[in-house]
Amino acid sequence: METNGEMGTTVSLLAPEAETLLRVRRVHRETQEIATYELCAEDGSELPPFTAGAHIDLHLPNGLVRSYSLCGDEAERDRYIIGVARSPDSRGGSTWIHDNLRTGDVVSISHPRNNFPLVDADRTILIAGGIGITPLLSMIRRLTAIGNDWTLHYAVRSHAHAAFSSDLRHLAGDRPERLQLHCDDESGSVLDLRGVVQRWTDTGADGVHMYCCGPGPMLTAFEAATAALPSNQRHIEYFTNATAAAKAGGFEVELAASGKTLMVPPGASILETLRNAGIDCMSSCTEGICGACETRVLGGEPDHRDVVLTDDERISNEVMMICCSGSKSRKLILDL
């Protein structure tokens, strides 16, 4: 597992009103590399609601912002739980958290956002790789609570790397076959995703929804294996965006609220152009992963480069991520 649960590397651009201070109530080591952090309001009050699959941004004292999936139960309003994997590839987020964040510390977070929502379905198949289990764990809690069927295929390097084992066994209850653990060291190979997908679609694809969260190669294999499924039945949570941002510039952006028009120059994103003009916008990852900068499009044709929007949302051109996406038309009109 090469990802660490982080969804992007950024400097904080979030508007202050979007942030909340929470206290770390408990730190729990799940595996040698993965720890969970339980975050609560300092006065014990209810937290803003979230739905399974959502994430929050942590604003770290070193100036970085990192997004982490919530792995707790959406019915619990007094705490958020995140899982963080210490990664050798850490760009400062997971290492800082593991080395510095302790019980009693206060941390600034954004309100939850959900780019990976759970759909009500007859059969829900969840595929996780390593720390990619975190959003799927919150989904399993929800599916179990409402009595919907689910099966989890959970790929890890070895048994010792399987986080949340006791939670998952408890959630599987008297149907342990719902939990399919794949240990690379025991099988001598990575999870056969094509075989997993085929097993579930051979009996008919109708009513099956498949979710995948894990390292890049797993997501690529999942995309290929589910290519024949309708796009609204396959769901992927990305940690990185392999598509380059649109920075050719050379188009105008009209801001509907003020009527102001800005020219986006070559080498700049729409977000950077707005900020350079002194216009404050919500953003976080700046890579098209988190959805924080989603903006309504009132005119023109965006050049979508994010990994947040669904195929249908891209085609509708009703919204766009202004941190990475550009314009195919000479002018865009934005609801700003």
Closer to ligand FES by CB, 151 or 283: give it: 283
In whole angstroms, the minimum distance from the beta carbon of 320 to ligand FES comes to 9
Q: Name the residue nearer to ligand FES (CB basis): 131 or 270.
A: 270
Residue 326 interacts with ligand FES (CB under 6 A): yes or no: no
3 state SS of 137: helix
130 sits near ligand FES (criterion: CB under 6 A) = no
Q: Tell whether residue 246 is a contact of ligand FES (CB under 6 A).
A: no
Q: H-helix or E-strand containing 201?
A: helix 193-201
If binding is defined by CB under 6 A, does position 291 make contact with ligand FES?
yes
CB 110 within 8 A of CB 284: yes
Both tokens assigned to 164: 């949340």
Taking residues 248 to 287 in sequence order and writing x for each that binds ligand FES by CB under 6 A, - otherwise, the string is -----------------------------------xxxx-
Q: Tell me the site size for ligand FES, rule CB under 6 A.
A: 14
- Figure out which of the listed residues 5, 288, 302, 326 binds ligand FES, where binding follows CB under 6 A: 288
Out of 236, 321, 332, 336, which residue is the one contacting ligand FES (CB under 6 A)?
Answer: 321
Can you read off the two tokens belonging to residue 257?
């609220």
Kindly tell me which of 206 and 312 has the beta carbon lying closer to ligand FES.
312
**Options 21-29, 152-160, 191-199, 291-299: segment touching ligand FES (CB under 6 A):** 291-299
CA distance 18 to 323: 18
Distance between CA atoms of residues 160 and 300, nearest Å: 52
Shortest spacing between CB 289 and ligand FES, in angstroms: 6
Q: Quote the CA–CA distance of 243 and 324 in Å, as a whole number.
A: 9
DSSP string spanning 226-281?
TTTS-GGGEEEE-SS--SPP-----EEEEETTTTEEEEE-TT--HHHHHHHTT---
Residue among 56, 193, 225, 290 that touches ligand FES (CB under 6 A): 290
Angle among Cα 220, 110, 264 to the nearest 5 degrees reads: 70
Of 2, 142, 146, the closest CA to residue 72 belongs to: 142
Q: Helix, strand or coil for residue 112?
A: coil
Residue 123 three-state SS: strand
Q: How far is the CB of 295 from ligand FES (least distance, A)?
A: 9
Q: How far apart are CA 99 and CA 111, in angstroms?
A: 24
Q: Does 292 bind ligand FES (CB under 6 A)?
A: yes
Q: Which of 293, 309, 319, 334 binds ligand FES (CB under 6 A)?
A: 293
Q: How far is it, in rounded angstroms, from Cα 181 to Cα 294?
A: 36
The verdict on 54 binding ligand FES (CB under 6 A) reads no
CB of 291 to ligand FES, least distance (A): 5
Report the C-alpha gap between 197 and 216 in whole angstroms: 18
The residues that touch ligand FES, with contacts defined as CB under 6 A, are 283-286, 288-293, 306, 308, 321, 323
